[in-house]
């Protein structure tokens, strides 16, 4: 039986694939939970699959962290079956250096990434990243959306961190674009939600999930999914 480890917002959940209920919502985060037993493919029973979810700028203002006025049924359900971390802090109050830190496993004083100019590969060309560690351990290491900050490190740290099929067989997978409102307006109507970054990211994540769980695949997978919301365009 394959297993899935889901990580998000300091929550860690371990469940067998057949225990994960299909999603009943159209929200991007909900779609990723639709990992039923029909998608499991061939299994390596000694290694668990890993789903690593990143949500940009989402503070711990959720029911599981004491904010009962927030409506977040899926995250609440995940928290109820998870290990919840209450003392997990951002290493730096900016996107690029924070991602450089937790994806390399080193503090900013080691990565020397403090802003949106430098990245950890400049001083640590041989450092092993989180997705690379799984890759070296025999996993299919794949991802989509905003995992690394664009350009830091260059080219999403390909091919070092990721499966060789990324940007080759499986392309257009990182940080999709979406239309902006006219005149830099904060809000505007859109004809459909399929154009939004997170909708595109969810669609790619489900495609990657199909790829890494195909019947001819024997390796476990590490799948990183980076959502941009609630971070907005300004």
The token duo for 151 is 């350009």
- Total number of residues shown for the chain: 234
Both tokens assigned to 112: 């020397």
Nearest C-alpha neighbor of 51 from the set 226, 223, 234: 223
Q: Tokens 């390596």 belong to which residue?
A: 44
Closest CA to 93 of 111, 115, 118: 115
Sorted by sequence, the CB contacts under 8 Å of residue 207 that are 6+ apart come out as 170
Catalytic residue among 64, 149, 188, 231: 149
Catalytic residue among 3, 64, 69, 95, which? 95
> In a 3-state reduction of DSSP, which class is residue 164?
coil
Cα–Cα distance, 40 to 21 (Å, whole number):
14
Q: Token pair for residue 15?
A: 């469940």
The residues pairing with 83 across neighbouring beta strands, listed in sequence order, are: 12
DSSP, residue by residue, 113-154: --SSS--GGGT-TTPPPHHHHHHHTT-EEEEEESSSBTTBSG
The residue assigned the tokens 């019947």 is 215
Q: Which residues pair with 127 in a beta bridge?
A: none
Active site residue 149: yes
Residues marked active site are found at 95, 149
């Amino acid at each position: 039986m394959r297993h899935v480890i889901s990580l998000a917002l300091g929550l860690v959940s371990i469940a067998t694939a057949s225990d994960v209920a299909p999603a009943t919502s159209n929200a991007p985060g909900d779609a990723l939970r639709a990992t039923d037993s029909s998608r499991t493919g061939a299994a390596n029973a000694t290694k668990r699959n890993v789903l690593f979810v990143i949500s940009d700028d989402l503070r711990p203002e959720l029911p599981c962290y004491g904010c009962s006025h927030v409506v977040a049924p899926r995250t609440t359900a995940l928290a109820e079956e998870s290990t919840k971390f209450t003392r997990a802090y951002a290493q730096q109050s900016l996107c690029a250096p924070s991602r450089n830190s937790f994806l390399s496993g080193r503090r900013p004083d080691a990565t020397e990434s403090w802003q949106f100019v430098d990245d950890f590969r400049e001083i640590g060309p041989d450092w092993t990243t989180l997705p690379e560690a799984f890759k070296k351990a025999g996993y299919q290491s794949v991802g989509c959306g905003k995992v690394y900050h664009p350009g830091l490190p260059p080219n999403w740290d390909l091919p070092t961190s990721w499966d060789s099929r990324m940007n080759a067989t499986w392309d257009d997978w990182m940080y999709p674009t979406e239309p902006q409102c006219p005149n830099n307006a904060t809000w505007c109507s859109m004809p459909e939600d399929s154009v939004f970054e997170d909708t595109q990211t969810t669609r790619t994540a489900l495609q990657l999930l199909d790829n890494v769980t195909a019947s001819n695949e024997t390796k476990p997978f590490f799948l990183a999914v980076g959502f941009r919301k609630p971070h907005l365009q300004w």
